Structure 1
């Protein structure tokens, strides 16, 4: 099977799995009150359901990426979706907070294995000049979850029961596992001699700069996004429906940003696209105190935020994959780890800013977030200037699907 034959039907399939995982990642925040009430736990204690998921993902993504790096990608994807499905079934059946936390750890393990493997598969099945777009389609599944999956999952929990959301995700994971098993060709990355060789690119200073860049701009963005209800209160007057509309605007433009980032990466290369998107994100965050005062300006701000935030991901993944395709799963896992570490860290730091910032704490969320995005811009510039004496890969090492004659 050639790249062209495999790419068109398979990449959207991989995006559906990413959609399920993205929904699972972010929907919990919307169902926490129901979970806390049903399990007779405090809201603060129940908040660990989200935190444990993100931390588990951040820790396990590079570990699982290294351990499974030599395995065929289809098998890895089916395994990850199976674990994800079992974890959601266990979540739906949980009758206590401890059981739910354990189930979320299992679910996070499946999610941490899936996203890097799906991105690596999409890159391997795509022609080199379309690699950015292929990765963007997979990441678009994550973006779509923010405006479609999360609101629907939250509504389902409110209308039926919070366990219904996890049953839905378990069903979606099972369908995706069957579809991947039957619809994805074998994808084998060029095998490195051993674990030490696969880990070697992780010591490349370009990888360190890329990971730090992701950590910086994700932390900066989630300083404010975690507390978006408070940030947009002047524009929404505390109305939940208005806030949902603004989040929908963010989500729609986030999907657009992912697609724009992928196409622009294929046309101009990853570095210019990354620098432009991170700089744009910093500008959006620093102007939050100005755009949050009215509904019209808040819509413009949320649209710009969605585009700039998600346009960062395709060039970042492209840069990492290009450093060493043989270690692609590990390097993409490091990026995923930095993403989820940034989500957790942004929420934590944002809480401290609100706690100690007084009356201007909400405005300072954007200012601190912009400063961290600026740090990400500096590390991205540094990474772009670095060169290694001996590149890890050459054209002959580009990954191809099994059976590809070229």
Structure 2
């Protein structure tokens, strides 16, 4: 049996397992938005202050993803995955046991560190274990776990918190992380990858203005969306009357249409190209956010808003990835790592800015979340239009004195 065939056979049972770990991490990332009101009430803190639970997690992920990837690049992948899942499980157990906001924030930092280490390692392991012609599908299965979290994990976690308390959601995630860690340790073969580039090499593409524009676009629309999504319990309170089960159903609507938005965005990008698809998605996202004050008062309009929100938010992802791969195909994984950091930085900033809007916005603070979010979606629309017009950095030559100077075009 060839090595490739052996790897392919080994990958068949473990790739779905790696996807389960990604599902747990995706649920952990997004479920906090649905349980914030319960956390704030139980810990005796304001909703704005409790928003730091989501902000700290996302910020830690954004900062540590490239750093931990560089530091662990030479380690065997199975060991990295087991460590990351163990840290993730410990962080969720600590979150469930937290009895004050400070302890919960520290636990979320620990959880985010495990999550930031896991996702890139799981994707790389799935690709390494699959035959070359199946690597794309293997990676898609792993990353599909993140998308599935918005469909099933987040609504279920929100419902569980409403029925048994928010700590139950974190206990469930801790258990899932521990089971995945044990299964990976027992079922995943040893995986060694070529030496990964260091942190400086990972950040080198930022010098290309097209990359910077694309990443800034992601940062802007993710921040805009999470201004309101972080505090979705408060935003939809008029429609749900504060009932957690009803909120879970609305989040299920969001998740179903988010998965559909990913599929639509991918197929539309293949047919019409990235720029028009991204522009349409961002325009739709701005529209649904700016009209939130009008749609959050009844269940019927809230369902429509969450459906459109899910489609437009997730339809942005395929064209963004396509744009990055088009800029530098050889640096695709690196550029997606930077884009992932921008995604979680946007989640973090959205929670932070949204908290300030609630604090200083008075009686209309909740309504202004959508308005500020829409403004940032429009800003993302503008940066996405500018990006394709930017030119890549030109080659540089060296003078006799040894100082670099820009290369000049002939003629």
Whether contact under 8 Å (2:151, 2:256) holds in the other structure is: yes
Equivalent in the alignment of 1:188 = 193
Matched, 1:109 2:113: yes
Structure 1 gaps of 5+ residues are 392-406
In 2, distance between residues paired with 1:360 and 1:92? 32
Equivalent in the alignment of 2:354 = 350
Whether contact under 8 Å (1:66, 1:329) holds in the other structure is: no
Equivalent in the alignment of 1:23 = 27
Map residues 76-87 of structure 1 onto 2, 5 A cutoff: 76-87=80-91
1:255 is displaced (CA, Å) by 2.0
1:176 is displaced (CA, Å) by 2.7
Larger Rg: 2
Which of 341, 344, 354 aligns to 2:345? It is 341
Per-residue CA deviation, residues 41-89 of structure 1 (Å, 9 max, x unaligned), is 5456655443332222222123223334565655543432232123223
Report the secondary structure of 1:188's partner residue: coil
1:308 is displaced (CA, Å) by 1.1
In 1, distance between residues paired with 2:392 and 2:358? 42
In 2, distance between residues paired with 1:318 and 1:126? 23
In 1, distance between residues paired with 2:176 and 2:58? 21
Equivalent in the alignment of 1:176 = 180
Matched, 1:89 2:69: no
1:223 is displaced (CA, Å) by 1.9
Matched, 1:312 2:316: yes
CA RMSD of aligned residues (A): 3.9
Map residues 247-286 of structure 1 onto 2, 5 A cutoff: 247-265=251-269, 269-286=273-290
In 1, distance between residues paired with 2:133 and 2:394? 21
Between the two proteins, the alignment pairs up a number of residues equal to 388
Whether contact under 8 Å (1:62, 1:331) holds in the other structure is: no
Whether contact under 8 Å (1:136, 1:259) holds in the other structure is: no
Equivalent in the alignment of 1:222 = 226
In 2, distance between residues paired with 1:167 and 1:230? 24
The normalised TM-score by structure 2 is 0.76
Whether contact under 8 Å (1:135, 1:314) holds in the other structure is: no
In 1, distance between residues paired with 2:194 and 2:273? 23
Whether contact under 8 Å (1:224, 1:231) holds in the other structure is: yes
Structure 2 gaps of 5+ residues are 396-411
1:17 is displaced (CA, Å) by 1.7
Per-residue CA deviation, residues 124-168 of structure 1 (Å, 9 max, x unaligned), is 76979995x766654443343234223433444455565443332
In 2, distance between residues paired with 1:201 and 1:70? 22
Whether contact under 8 Å (1:118, 1:138) holds in the other structure is: yes
